[in-house]
Amino acid sequence: MKNLFANLREAVSTWFAADLPNLVFALKTSVAGLLALWISFRLDFAQPQWALMTVFIISRPESGLVMTKGFYRVLGTIAGSAAALILTGLFAQSAELFILSLATWIGLNVALAARYRNFQSYGFMLAGYTAAIIGFGAAADPNHAFDIAQARVSEVVLGILCASVVAEAFFPVHASVQLVPAALARFTRFKEFLRHAFSLDFDSGKMLAMQQAFLADIVASETQRSSSVFEGAEARLRDARVRWMNASFMKASTTLYGFIQTMRRLRLQAPAEGIAIITSHYDELAGCMMAADGSPAAVAARLATYRSELHVRHRQAMPETAEAVPMRGDIAAAFRLYLRVVDELVDYVDAMLALSEPGRPTPPAVPAYALHADSWVATLSGLRAVGVLFAVSAFWIATAWPGGSGAATLGAIICMLFGSAPAPTIVVQRVARGFVLGQLMAFVCMFFVLPQADAFPSVALCMLPFLAFSAWMIVHPRFASEGSGIYLAMISSIPLHNQMHYDIVDFLNNCVGVFIGLGAASIAFSVFPSSPTRLRDRLLARLRDQVADACRAPLREGALRHRFESRTRDLLYQLTTPPAAMRELSGPVFGHAMTILEVGQMAIELRTVLERQSRSETLHHASTAMLDALVALCRNPDDASRTALFRALDQLRATLDGAADIDAEMRDELQANCYLIRSALQDDEAMRHVRGAAEWNISIPGASHAT
């Protein structure tokens, strides 16, 4: 008996510990919703349920996310309301023209949402569907169009204010506090990586796992950073430092990868004494990185001294040592790459130091992390939304059924919201399950519980269990989609007003409308399915084009390097996560992307040095021809274009040797880059990575796949 009680107590405490944050979130969200509801009742708003709905839509456990989502929601709502008013003013007399122009507006917003991927995209989506929500009401009653739009904007703003205040004031959860510990953990892992890479006790599987972990780290840290801007002034001050840290980390890890690959290739050909020139420096660098307590401050101090010593020693000793051994060009190039690794490590460690210890000088300006948003997926989801809007509106106009506008709007909203989900049909099915439960809850709440209430406190008490349950469902990892269905259905079906009307006919019409909208959306998803293989092919093509970008896009003083690094990583991340992920191919895709990073990085470095130099016409021609040959090789990786590239490289090196007006240091730098590109592409393994998809022998059915 005693044992049973002990077990029971343990079970309860485990459950409580695991579920406590979710319960707090459910309570916070319900309190915020009821607060918004109370204020809208007091101010006598037309549709208090919109304020309540807004609280639920933007509520997330992290308060930074609540405020970021809220901010873009306000912008989207204002733009959408303005558009709805203009369209009503122009086309209120003719339903067909009105729906046509509304569909155009929605299509436009979906196209704009495709340009972005995070919260900006959400804002554009809202501008689209707010126009639909307001537009249908306003067109039916043009004299009150302005009041409807104004009520919508006020209620949305009220909901956002209430949600933000409650999220920040009671048990706030800040994503930004995780940023520095996560960055320090990554720093430790990076040092580990460096040590293993130098002592050569690495197999390719371990290396791949490490690279994958770094990629996930960068993406997670960028996501947290972008949503923590509203988490108070400290987070904003830290923002630039996190950006600097991520940018310098990406640069350092790409260069280090290139260096490791170069050394691997060199080991196969060069004599041991030549390699020893470089490997003799490893111990010192590893010693610097593993400094005393391993804190960024200690590492930064030792690394800075080491770098200045290394540069001095390099200038004195390198030429004589290298003279004696064969392949001295390649070894000198590898040594220059080693110097670059050290330079970039210094930058990364400085950024870590600035991030982990406040009060350091302000970081350099780093452009935003470049994301790639696939236009095809977004166009498809826009087409789906417009198609559903047309089909359901046609039915509505033909039958004059009162629930029609609600059904059309809901269908379009669902198409937009879940268009980029990994498996939209499954998500819509789960949302539909939530809708059934939500409608049942709304029925019970509205016809059995609410009639007993007589003032706001009792209304609040009646609503609390229903609201808290749906909020708890949203954060539950297994029922998140069902949870969003529950609150969408429940809140939109209970018309809360100061003067309540309990109208079962309205309720049923609304209910039928919700399910018709949902049905239309799920039909649209099965008629225009988003195909993962097609998406994967498009992403792979973009990844191949990255080298062309590195060779041709304007340099913009370092901004190109950052854009190249971040976009390539973003593409790689999309390729290794659902829906485009290929489990059996994650290794080859990584090799492909890392080789693209390596080659592209060298091309950018070469171009940067060239730009600094006042160059002669012949040098310009030779370098352009080389870069063109490199782009051609990446587009069409066969032996003929490889030979063409090597010819162009030889030409460039000959021109460099002959050029009289060029600084010796610059010439060495350029020669080294030529060596590095040549040695990278001479390697058959690297060529296999460059070939990428064509080589992997997977049947990519994208070509024949129905879109």
Which residues of this protein are in contact with another protein, per CB under 8 A? 63, 165, 168-169, 172, 232-234, 236-237, 358-359
CB of 63 to another protein, least distance (A): 7
Report which of 548, 602, 616 is spatially closest to residue 333, judged by C-alpha positions: 602
Closer residue to another protein in complex, CB, 154/295: 154
- Helix, strand and coil in the chain, % to nearest 5: 80, 0, 20
Smallest distance, another protein to C-beta of residue 654, A: 56
Query: What DSSP string runs through 108-173?
Result: HHHHHHHH--SHHHHHHHHHHHHHHHHHHHHHHSGGGHHHHHHHHHHHHHHHHHHHHHHHHHSS--
Q: Is 488 left (phi over 0), alpha (psi -120 to 50) or beta?
A: alpha
Choice between 35 and 687, CB closer to another protein: 35
In angstroms, the CA 590 to CA 257 distance is 12
Q: Which is nearer to another protein, 169 or 426 (CB)?
A: 169
Closest approach of Cβ 361 to another protein, in Å? 14
Specify the residue, 147 or 657, whose C-beta has the smaller distance to another protein.
147
Between CA 705 and CA 707 the distance in angstroms is 6
Query: At its nearest, how many Å lie between another protein and the CB of residue 66?
Result: 12
- Closest distance between another protein and the C-beta of residue 491, in Å? 26
User: Which CB, 147 or 665, lies closer to another protein?
Assistant: 147
Q: Which is nearer to another protein, 205 or 359 (CB)?
A: 359
When the beta carbons of 39 and 290 are compared against another protein, the nearer one is 39
Q: How far is the CB of 25 from another protein (least distance, A)?
A: 16
Q: Which is nearer to another protein, 39 or 632 (CB)?
A: 39
Q: How far is the CB of 168 from another protein (least distance, A)?
A: 4
CA distance 627 to 654: 16
Token pair, residue 265, equals 């290739």
CA 399 – CA 211 distance, rounded (Å): 59
Q: Shortest Cβ distance from residue 153 to another protein (Å)?
A: 12
548: CB partners within 8 A, 6+ apart: 631, 634, 635
The least CB distance from residue 67 to another protein, in Å, is 11
* Residue-by-residue DSSP string for 314-359: HHHHHHHHHHHSSSHHHHHHHHHHHHHHHHHHHHHHHHHHHHHSTT
Distance of CA 202 to the CA centre of its chain: 30
Radius of gyration of the chain (CA): 30
Least Å from the CB of residue 23 to another protein: 20
Q: Residue 266 corresponds to which tokens in the numbers above? A: 């060199």
Closest CB to another protein among residues 85, 645: 85
Element (H, E) at 275: helix 272-279
Q: Nearest approach, Cβ of 456 to another protein (angstroms)? A: 22
Q: Give the residue among 204, 185, 262 at the shortest CA–CA distance from 586.
A: 204
Nearer to another protein, 236 or 313 (CB): 236
Give whichever of 232 and 529 is closer to another protein, judged by the CB atom: 232
DSSP 702: G
Q: For residue 326, what are the contacts with CB-CB under 8 A and spacing of at least 6?
A: 270, 271, 274
Please give the structure tokens belonging to residue 35.
């607060």
The smaller minimum CB distance to another protein, of residues 55 and 260, is found at: 55
Give the whole-angstrom CA distance, residue 636 versus residue 324.
Answer: 39
Which CB atom, from 361 or from 554, has the smaller least distance to another protein? 361
CB 517 within 8 A of CB 407: yes
Least Å from the CB of residue 28 to another protein: 13
Q: Kindly state the DSSP code that residue 502 receives in the 8-state scheme.
A: -
Smallest distance from another protein to CB 133, Å: 21
How many other β-carbons are positioned within 10 Å of the β-carbon of residue 641? 17
Instruction: Compute how many other C-beta atoms are within 10 angstroms of the C-beta atom of residue 374.
Output: 20
Question: Residue 268's Cα: distance from chain center in Å?
Answer: 39
